[in-house]
Amino acid sequence: MNEAAQPDRIDLEDAASLARWEKELDTTEEQLRDAVAKVGDKAADVEMHLKGARSTTNADRMEQAGEGGV
């Protein structure tokens, strides 16, 4: 059984957690999963990663992701 969810952690296995963080961080599930894979599940770290990644437009980032990065 999963311990009580920690409010500052992103649980990729919990649909409600995913939905909450997608909305709160204004991101997609794919971007959220990618960020957690890169920096861990701590919400503050994921937020900073996403903000840094948004130095380009989201459309640019999605296009780059489709091309396997730059």
Q: What is the pTM of this model?
A: 0.66
CA–CA dist 13, 16 (Å, integer): 9
Structural domain includes residue 6 = no
**pLDDT tens by residue, 17-70:** 999 999 999 999 999 999 999 999 999 999 999 988 655 566 666 776 775 444
Number of domains in the chain: 1
Structural domain includes residue 41 = yes
Structural domain includes residue 7 = no
Per-residue pLDDT at 3 exceeds 70 = no
Residue 69 tokens, joined: 């990065």
What sections of 1-70 are H helices per DSSP? 15-24, 29-39, 43-53, 58-66
Per the CB < 8 A criterion, the answer to whether 14 and 8 are in contact is no
> What domain range includes position 19?
15-64
Structural domain includes residue 42 = yes
Structural domain includes residue 29 = yes
